[in-house]
Structure 1
């Protein structure tokens, strides 16, 4: 009793003598693991996370009691969550203020519907856009999570082995999910309840009308629907929101008077494509969407074709043919998609004069084995024809390159004859195999003839690449081989235009074919007009007796025929444009051909009757070049002070100069829809 009496005053001495109490000790539940292992007392240290023993030894102070660990982890998680929540709230306030939307405090539980005249696009988590203008991109956090289940390996269909791709080996070592070399196909079954149609951005009735238009008037012209294997809107919505948006955008682009629907669908497609750029591909239908849009959306074609190819390779589509040959019949559709991507990517690589990504792999070399199967369809034959044609054109690109300042040498023409022979053989082989359709008539077989003429034109026009401007001094510089190739190019360009005018099924198809076919017409007409200006001299037009004579240097060229074909081209395409949206590329082509005729000073050129779509041009049919109003002329006139056209800017490389030159001549409108390229 005495000892306890003596101890009690000492314990309360700080209260009796008025000294300040000791600071509160750090709360701890029992001893730490280190002190527990040494069986000593765990002494907490004020304002320190470690105990005295761990501070002295420099070891990690880990609570032995599991409850303490949970408390520490919970406190850390809450601190991080509070910081992230504050950041998200600040970002939301900024976005709402930028888009002139109500404050966060004023919003209810449900998001507001788009107001009249306002297009509020659905977008992925890292893209926010309104009326087609992206306002902010917040990248997702870097994902370095690991796969922990062996079932993932089994589902991927990949077997481990001694020889493998380096990144596959790295994945096997680290199990980091983003390093996987393949992705499984995963349909999005909930997309119908969450997509832009369900949200009311595009009404179901409007979507059904656009879908019907696509199915009836557009789908079959691209290899009998190889890129779109669905028969109903509901079916495609359940598989891919991106493919749904692509189809509706294409349909609206081919329907007059659907400007608002076109802009809404286009905004949605672009927003979804943004997220696809850095995300892992989810299914094959998303790749179909990118390829399909590349064929029809001229301002996105190059970017979309490349993105589609890289996504397809990531899903190992380049291996589908080998798997099909080993008996995996479920790989047939994947192989079809790979062939379609080959054509898409090579069309635009050649059109832009750029090297392609896909090389001639085992699938391309052995396409006949694919077509020999009893499972082959008529659309496969048409697709195979395109694949084999672009094999030839790509070989020519490899042989001659795209340097605009590199003319063909005399030995090059021997190889050019071999390419011409290959094109002839191609037509003989594929025109007979392309069966006519009860819906689109003779378009399959006549389309082969159209591509035949255009391929010959494109190949042989290289004979004039990088040549000096013609003059009396150069009259003997054109060798027989060069003149022969140049005459083939002139004949083929003329045949390209004539075939379209004279074949009813081709005329009918021009409202639904991809932009590459429209480019054939535009490039052929432009080439012939520039030949007339550069090699023939437009002064001959005023003398009928001279206009029917061939131009100098031994070229078979009739200027009156060229002018007639060019006028017919503009008139025909103008009628085609009446059945398309005003933002379709073909309206730019019509304006470009007519304006080129006017700029060349051709008497009797028809006035531009689509002037309501092209307010910048108001030239009359007989107006000379010098009297064109410089304030209303297209931008490219500013640099053309001499009003002279140089034909070499279009045939200076293997490609068309599709973006830099051709579209620069045609795109003289102020349509915001095509001027803002989101990539």
Structure 2
């Protein structure tokens, strides 16, 4: 046995380890104040030689060492440092090949699109003055670990869809927070940190929207888009309360702010211009796609809300859905609280409060008129709109908007009083309250018509529009006198019911006469929101139905006068300059069919009177010449009159029950847009 003082012989395994170098032995490239980088050992020893602590020798041309060859076993190398070096070399060679492949692909794409060569583009990263890639990767890894902790994803809702419940970093709950009564969801978020439950911040527009929108993709040309934008700005935008729905002065500005608003504007403009069917189809499909894709997103802007409102005001088949969606997004953005903040001196809330009033009117256009309860109730902002008008920021369009707010407050109260059940007639006691609402509408006109000043774009339309909506409201309220009644079950009218029914008739006649006789109303009829088209159509349908069904009730209505008036309305709708799919075209077609049925009914009435005078009980007593003199006389009597589909097929059109069936049925289906 060797003595303890004798130095032990170093094994080949130990000899493969490098002894630590002195500071003087550091490479010249390493500064004096920095420790030398660790050197990776390249020593090789297989597992068998390491176990026996013997020298691992490999002869040239052999892959196994001498010991393993002699023992007939597999030579396995367990040198992890060498494996790291080998793997690193393989990864670098693969990354280099992939990088060259990507560069070649990008160069081909640039060449195909006529763009400059790749070498002309500046580098977006500079590692000379920034952290090393490894440090940057480590930093981002730490940042992700502190910002977001993502648990395993929950159950699948469908192919490729998973429920992603993520958490956000935030301060611990403040037990001394002075806000003791927050919204319940706020407390839940404060405890759970669940991002899904929290309202998103207000506007976060993407900076590259203009480069990625439908115009940049070539769906329509920039020249045509500019033309459509200009048309909307000087017509429809001015009719809708002086341009407050579109605050951008040029197309580029609106494109940068909201793709949804820009495509909504171009869609509506294309709908109103003749011979733009192809453009309308492109814009409409893009608009529907954007609305569908944003239904579950959480980040929106004020202009996104405006984009929904533009569609609601002019696209009849989408109006109800869009108005409700716009209100929900607006409440997420906190627009319902903007009025109170504005009253506390925050003038930056003016635009948001204004948009909340616009949403109130939009919501009521497409709720009460359709017999549906409105979403927005009469909160402090709605009840105190006069305080809003005292702001120095108010423009003339705000006055016109507040006139609508005030009117729909009256109609909403009446809706809640009388309901929308088309099978519930008004009792005699209800007419006292109905007179109160009539007085309120009279006072509304006296207050707001003088305050609505003329416009250089639409001339006297603001004040004349107040008068038109006055007749709409009087007609809509008083038409309830005939709701759920039929001539067979109503032997006589009380004086109150007869008075209200005659007010409804005279107001409906006044609606149609204003549209036909007032030049500024007639010229604007093509560009007004669909609520006006709906009420004009409702007036015409109501008059025809009353002339047919209640002609024996001693009401103040003349069937011949009604027919002539409706024919003039049809002529006007056919003559307006608008696109082939504009609502006026379908109103004219639908009313034309009703006039044809009305003519058949008059023919039957005439034939019935002749038979009655001759003392004959049916039309079989008329000779062939009599039947030829009365076109459709025999067929009309055989069918029975008044025709059920004319009178009772549109249940709910008396009072608060308008729906798409009031118009041409083709407007109620999406197949219309696919033609």
What's the TM-score once normalised by structure 2's chain length? Answer: 0.71
- In structure 2, relative to structure 1, the CA distance for the partners of 1:140 and 1:225 (3 Å cut) is farther
The aligned residue for residue 297 of structure 1 is 315
Within 5 Å, give how 1:308-319 maps onto structure 2. Answer: 308-319=326-337
| Corresponding residue for residue 518 of structure 2 | 503
Q: CA RMSD in A?
A: 3.8
Matched, 1:273 2:291: yes
Which residue in the other structure is 1:470 paired with? Answer: 487
Give 1:217 shift.
2.0
Asked whether the equivalents of residues 509 and 539 of structure 2 are also in contact (C-alpha less than 8 Å), the reply is yes
Supply the distance in 2 between the matched residues of 1:658 and 1:112 (Cα, whole angstroms): 53
Check if 1:445 corresponds to 2:463.
Answer: yes
Partner of 1:593: 591
1:162-241 equivalence runs, <5 A:
162-241=180-259
Matched residue, 1:47: none
**Cα distance, 1:668–1:357 mapped onto 2, change above 3 Å:** closer
Contact kept? 1:598, 1:625, Cα under 8 Å? no
Distance in 2 (CA, whole Å) between partners of 1:524 and 1:657 is 11
Secondary structure at the counterpart of residue 225 of structure 1: coil
Q: Which residue of 2 aligns with 1:560?
A: 560
CA contact (8 A) 1:650 1:657 kept: no
**Shift in Å at residue 624 of structure 1?**
3.8
SS at match of 2:252: helix
Cα pair distance change 1:229/1:652, threshold 3 Å: closer
Cα 1:141–1:234 change in 2 (3 A) is: farther
How many Å separate the matches in 2 of 1:377 and 1:650?
A: 42
Q: Secondary structure at the match of 1:312?
A: helix
Q: Answer yes or no: is the 8 Å Cα contact 1:598–1:623 preserved in 2.
A: no
Contact 1:402 1:653 in 2 (8 A): no
Aligned to 1:658: 659
- Aligned pair count reads 525
CA distance in 2, matches of 1:627, 1:166: 67
Structure 2 SS opposite 1:600: helix
Unpaired segments ≥5 residues, structure 2: 3-10, 12-48, 55-64, 92-104, 114-157, 604-629
Residues 27 and 8 of structure 1, relative CA distance in 2, 3 Å threshold: closer
Deviations 1:621-677 (A, max 9, x none): x9649879xxxxxxxx9xx99665225835456434312x313x453899844479x
From 337, 343, 358, the equivalent of 2:355 is 337
Secondary structure of the 1:354 match is coil
Which of 512, 537, 540 lines up with 2:527 in the alignment?
A: 512
Q: Is the 8 A contact 1:403 1:652 kept in 2?
A: no
Check whether the contact 1:253–1:583 (CA below 8 A) recurs between aligned residues: yes
Q: CA deviation at 1:233?
A: 0.4
- Following superposition, the deviation at residue 474 of structure 1 comes to 3.2
Contact 2:454 2:461 in 1 (8 A): yes
| Structure 1 residue 401 displacement after superposition | 1.1
* CA deviation map 1:547-606 (0-9, x unaligned): xxxxx3231111121111111111111112xx111111111100011111112235999x
Residue of structure 1 in register with 2:128 after alignment: none
Q: Tell me the CA shift for residue 374 of structure 1.
A: 2.6
CA 1:675 to 1:260, structure 2 compared with 1: closer, same or farther past 3 Å?
Answer: closer
Q: Distance in 1 between matches of 2:347 and 2:74?
A: 83
Select which of 335, 357, 361 maps to 2:375: 357
**How far 1:305 sits from its partner (Å)?**
0.2
The counterpart of 2:163, out of the listed 142, 160, 166, is 142
Indicate how the Cα distance of structure 1 residues 648 and 394 shifts in structure 2: closer, same or farther if over 3 A, else same. farther
CA contact (8 A) 1:534 1:647 kept: no
Equivalent position SS for 2:541: helix
TM-score for both structures, normalised by structure 1? 0.70
Spell out, residue by residue over 1:180-235, the C-alpha distance to the aligned partner (whole angstroms, 9 max, x if none). Answer: 23522123332111211112111111101111111122210001111110110011
Question: Once the 2 structures are TM-superposed, how far is the Cα of residue 349 of structure 1 from its aligned partner?
Answer: 0.2
Aligned to 1:667, the other structure's residue is in SS state: helix
C-alpha distance in 1 between matches for 2:332 and 2:218: 34
Separation in structure 2 between the aligned mates of residue 451 and residue 475 of structure 1, nearest angstrom: 33
The answer for the alignment partner of 1:83 in structure 2 is none
Counterparts of 2:280 and 2:163 in 1: how far apart (Å)? 35
**Alpha-carbon distance in structure 2 between the residues aligned to 1:626 and 1:242:** 56
Instruction: Tell me how far apart the structure 1 counterparts of residues 633 and 248 of structure 2 sit (CA, whole Å).
Output: 52
Q: What residue is the counterpart of 1:646 in the other structure? A: 647
Q: Secondary structure in 2 aligned to 1:299?
A: helix
Contact kept, 8 Å, 1:219 with 1:228, in 2: the verdict is yes
| Residues in 1 aligned to 2:112 and 2:432: alpha-carbon distance in whole angstroms | 68
Structure 2 CA distance for partners of 1:141 and 1:489, relative to 1, 3 Å: same
Offset from partner CA, 1:233-277 (integer Å, 9 cap, x none): 011111001100000001000100001111111111111111111
Structure 1 residues 420, 648: CA separation in 2 closer, same or farther (over 3 Å shift)?
farther
Alpha carbons of 1:586 and 1:652: their partners in 2 closer, same or farther (altered >3 Å)? Answer: closer
Distance 1:662 1:246 in 2: 25
- Structure 2 residue 505 is the aligned partner of structure 1 residue 490: yes
2:339 to 310, 321, 327: 321
Decide whether aligned partners of structure 1 residues 581 and 623 sit closer, same or farther in structure 2, where only a CA change above 3 A counts. Answer: farther
Out of 433-442 and 593-602, give the one that drifted further. Answer: 593-602
Secondary structure of the structure 2 residue equivalent to 1:562: helix
Deviation, structure 1 residue 464: 0.8
> Counterparts of 2:163 and 2:109 in 1: how far apart (Å)?
30
